[in-house]
Amino acid sequence: MCGIVGVVSHTPVNQLIYDALLLLQHRGQDAAGIATNHGSHFSMYKANGLVRDVFRTRNMRSLPGNSGVGQVRYPTAGNASSEEEAQPFYVNAPFGITLAHNGNLTNWEQLKIDMFKNDRRHINTESDSEVLLNVLAHEIQNATTGYSLDPAAMFRAVAALHKRVRGSYAVVAQIAGHGLLAFRDPFGIRPLCIGFNDTEQGTEYLVASESVALEGLGFRFLRDVIPGEAIFIDNDGKLYNQQCAENPTLNPCAFEFVYFARPDSIIDGASVYATRLKMGEYLAEKIKRQFTSGDIDVVMPIPDSSRPAAMELALKLNIEYREGFIKNRYIGRTFIMPGQGVRRKSVRQKLNAIASEFKGKNVLLVDDSIVRGTTSREIVQMARESGAKKVIFASAAPPVKYPNVYGIDMPTSSELIAYGRTEEEVCREITADALVYQDLDALKRSISDVNPALKSFEASCFDGIYITGDISRDYLDRVEYARNHPKPQNEDVIRSQLNLNLAKVD
Ligand SMILES: O=P(O)(O)OC[C@H]1O[C@H](OP(=O)(O)OP(=O)(O)O)[C@H](O)[C@@H]1O
Ligand SMILES: NC(=O)CC[C@H](N)C(=O)O
Ligand SMILES: [Mg+2]
């Protein structure tokens, strides 16, 4: 999941975009970038790392202009460590376009080939987002004649893009000298919303992955971008919009509500916090059916994401809620870190147990989800080392059994602890005394109860149903193979050649 932001203002936007990216940092920790537009000139700076580490004062000074886009990246395609694949991306024709993308295209490899053969466009990275930018550029080229670019032409281009591209995409793009284009895929998988701020110079607009970025910067929430819709804000601050997809439907990603989004965001009309409280409530009902009152002495959250669910669960069970794990706030989210080794080490660095809270007690540990099992294994161990009598584990989400191809980096089933295992087997794996998972139906109700207009969800990691309809077994096998056999990067090739030569010398 990445975080994206786009702004059209009447004053310089570099600091505003930086601040918005800080508010979206939880969505991506690998790379950050900003591109601003000043007259017909783009300035861009991007690099690997957290927002606060990527941008120095000199970088910020080099980003003039009253409009711009930014991104924090959590890679799902291409090469996670490549700075070249940090976003935004830039293409010089037509007009000059910069783009930031949240999501994952499922047909990007085929599109890359088509682009080269039919459109004669060269894509220089393994990023699906660079492919997306080139499709957009090609379709804008097709939709326009001469230098003029009216909103209608832009909307024709987005309509053509929807026909070519598959997968999930929430996008902000700047067209040099013209304005900001934002659009969302026809299934509405990834979130995108728009806010405004009335200033003396006129209205300024901010488009962002989550409403927390609007609120935190003093913008007022206008609305969510509708699935398939495109919004264009010209550089004078005039807003145009049009539905560009033929059969749009709203299917927000259920995992945003479980884990990704900040609890203080509102996504597609549902407060993330309220949905997490509901998850706790439904989980409490299930626990009540399976355990009797003396079985659990204390309920504890695994900080941070599970706190609202654990708190509500304790309340509904009428059992004491205690914080037994303290989080080191300087360690990032472990789930979105690249590589299992880093993840495992980070759990122990990140969470530490207060032994007195565990000694002699039957503890119910609550997490929002169990994905690879890295966190739960370590946590159960830590609870035992701290003297817990019994450790019961509860997950506010159902078992994650299937790969995700829409922007959450879990492309292979083999890495998922619940894949091919029964709940009893997972329980044994994480060495808990008992394990309770939320039912999928209850998870969906947790979101629908908060906004009844939300009836359908992208929940493929729980049920294996891929709503875009283009995901075959063969496709998943290919993704799994590619993940397990990464293409050697230049540096790796050099190193392996060096090793070979050294072996010869030996
Ligand atoms: O089963 P796993 O593969 O370990 O993944 C699941 C865990 O990862 C996430 O925590 P994370 O540390 O990323 O962030 P948080 O502080 O927001 O909970 C999530 O909240 C679970 O605790
Ligand atoms: N998580 C995301 O939204 C990733 C965006 C894009 N697919 C990338 O890998 O950079
Ligand atoms: Mg967690």
- Quick one: pLDDT band at residue 481, thresholds 50, 70, 90? confident
Q: Residue 304 above 80 pLDDT? A: yes
Spatial separation of the C-alpha atoms in residues 356 and 325, rounded to whole Å: 11
Equal fold, 3-250 vs 277-328+336-452: no
Atom of ligand 1 nearest to the CA of 350: 12
Global pTM reads: 0.93
Report the separation in Å between the CA atom of 10 and the middle of ligand 1, taken as the mean of its atom positions: 40
Instruction: Tell me the pLDDT band of 500, cut-offs 50, 70 and 90.
Output: very low
Tell me the torsion sign for CA atoms 462, 463, 469, 474: positive
- Measure 112 CA to ligand 2 centroid, in angstroms: 16
Q: Is the CB of 310 under 6 A from ligand 1?
A: no
What count of other Cβ atoms lies within 10 Å of the Cβ of residue 144?
17
d(CA 330, CA 50): 12
CA–CA gap between residue 270 and residue 143 (Å, rounded): 36
Q: Looking at the structure, give the CATH architecture of the domain made up of residues 3-250.
A: 4-Layer Sandwich (3.60)
pLDDT band of residue 499 (cuts 50, 70, 90) is: very low
> CB–CB of 100/172 below 8 Å?
yes
Q: From residue 137, give the alpha-carbon distance in Å to each of 96, 100, 144, 246, 322.
A: 9, 13, 11, 21, 54
The answer to whether 172 touches 7, Cβ cutoff 8 Å, is no
- Ligand 2 mutation target, pool 127, 189, 259, most atoms within 8 A of CB: 127
Separation of 468 CA from ligand 3 center, angstroms? 29
| C-beta of 37 in contact with ligand 2 (< 6 A) | no
Q: What is the pLDDT of residues 172-186, one digit of tens each?
A: 999 998 999 999 999
- ipTM of model: 0.97
In terms of DSSP bridges, do strands 298-301 and 362-367 run parallel, antiparallel, or are they unpaired? parallel
Ligand 2 lined by 404 (C-beta under 6 Å): no
Ion ligand 3: residues, CB within 5 A, are 305
Pocket perturbation via mutation, ligand 2, pick of 87, 129, 185 by most ligand atoms within 8 A of CB: 129
Confidence at residue 496, expressed as pLDDT on a 0 to 100 scale:
45
372 Cβ below 6 A of ligand 1: yes
Q: 3-state DSSP call for residue 485? A: coil
- Asked if 302 contacts 394 with a C-beta cutoff of 8 angstroms, the reply is no
134 lines ligand 2 (CB under 6 A): no
Give CA–CA dist 237/483, Å, rounded. 43
Report how far residue 272's alpha carbon sits from residue 388's, in angstroms, rounded to the nearest whole number. Answer: 32
Please report the pLDDT score of residue 459 as a whole number.
Answer: 98
Q: Is 205 in the pocket of ligand 1 (CB under 6 A)?
A: no
Residues annotated in a binding site: 305, 367-368
Q: What is the pLDDT of residue 505?
A: 37
pLDDT surpasses 60 at 461: yes
Single out the residue of 175, 10, 168, 31 nearest to residue 101, CA to CA. Answer: 168
Residue 336: pLDDT band by 50, 70, 90 thresholds?
Answer: low
Which residue owns the Cα nearest ligand 2 atom 10? 75
If one residue of 335, 368, 370 were mutated to test the ligand 1 pocket, choosing by the most ligand atoms within 8 A of its CB, it would be: 335
- Residue ranges covered by each domain of the chain: 3-250, 277-328+336-452
Q: Whose CA is nearest to atom 7 of ligand 2?
A: 104
* C-beta 302 within 6 A of ligand 1: yes
Give me the active site residues, please.
2
Closest-lying ligand to the alpha carbon of 263?
Answer: 1
- pLDDT, tens digit, for every residue of 205-245? 999 999 999 999 999 999 999 999 999 999 999 999 999 99
| pLDDT, average across residues 470-496 | 72
pLDDT tens per residue, range 420-442: 999 999 999 999 999 999 999 99
Instruction: Please tell me the distance from the alpha carbon of residue 6 to that of residue 13, in angstroms, as a whole number.
Output: 10
d(CA 327, CA 167): 35
For residue 347, give the ligand nearest its CA.
Answer: 1
If you classify domain 277-328+336-452 with CATH, what class do you get?
Answer: alpha beta
Q: How many CA atoms lie within 13 A of 250 on its CB side?
A: 15
